[in-house]
Amino acid sequence: MERKRVPFEELPITNRFMFAMVFSHKEIAKPFLEAVLGIKIHELRDPEPEKTIEVNPVSKGVRFDVFTKEVGPDGETIRSFDIEMQMEDTHEIPKRARFYQAMRDCEALNRGESYYNLKELYIIFLCPDDIFAKGRAVYRFKNLESDDPKIEMGDLTFKNF
């Protein structure tokens, strides 16, 4: 089987090489995240590559693709970003995002620390398929009250696909 060479400029973000290239350099990752999330980022820490978390031997663990944080002028964390590549629609990606959020939150606080100290957390799944089938390139979710969507829960968690 012959492999077709694709020029670097034509590689999509879902290509393993391109994904690694973008998210191993904060100078490239920062404008990408700003564009996808519609936010301004002060300073991005160097992204951490793959990391596995296992709470205990019988619980399901996770392998995070890329994790990074935004820091303010004082070096304090402002918000965190978990970036995942999802090449196939397994029809469970929203629940996977929920689980990944929970695992990140477990690491965010030390014993006895106030929940007030939880920072904004963005879970981002890069998918080549439109998993919600509404014809949009980006879907951004946050927790809102069902009967009055003007009321935000304010839990500072955002799931993006």
pLDDT digits (tens, 9 = 90+) for 1-55: 677 788 888 888 888 888 888 888 899 999 999 999 999 999 999 888 788 887 7
In a domain, 34, yes or no: yes
Distances (CA, A) of 6 to 3, 9, 11, 12, 25: 9, 8, 7, 10, 22
Taken in order 42, 13, 128, 54, the sign of the CA dihedral is negative
Is pLDDT above 80 for 56? no
DSSP structure string for 101-113: HHHHHHHHS-TT-
Query: In sequence order, which residues have a C-beta less than 8 Å from that of residue 90 and are 6 or more positions away?
Result: 96
Distances (CA, A) of 118 to 40, 77, 92, 114, 132: 20, 10, 26, 8, 29
In a domain, 3, yes or no: no
Strands 120-126 and 66-71: unpaired
Distances (CA, A) of 46 to 18, 27, 91: 17, 9, 31
Give me the torsion for CA of 56, 50, 121, 139, rounded to 10°.
Answer: -120
pLDDT for position 50: 80
In a domain, 2, yes or no: no
pTM of the model: 0.87
pLDDT for position 98: 95
pLDDT for position 1: 63
Is pLDDT above 90 for 130? yes
In a domain, 146, yes or no: yes
More confident residue, 17 or 146: 146
In a domain, 57, yes or no: yes
Determine the Cα–Cα distance for residues 31 and 152; give it in Å rounded to an integer: 27
The count of domains in the chain is: 1
Model confidence at 144, pLDDT cuts 50, 70, 90, reads: very high
pLDDT for position 40: 96
Model confidence at 78, pLDDT cuts 50, 70, 90, reads: very high
Query: In sequence order, which residues have a C-beta less than 8 Å from that of residue 103 and are 6 or more positions away?
Result: 53, 55, 62
Is pLDDT above 70 for 135? yes
Determine the Cα–Cα distance for residues 107 and 76; give it in Å rounded to an integer: 16
Q: What is the pLDDT of residues 100-127, one digit of tens each?
A: 999 999 889 999 999 999 999 999 999 9
Q: Which domain holds residue 154?
A: 8-107+116-160
Average pLDDT over residues 128-154: 96
Identity of the residue numbered 119: K
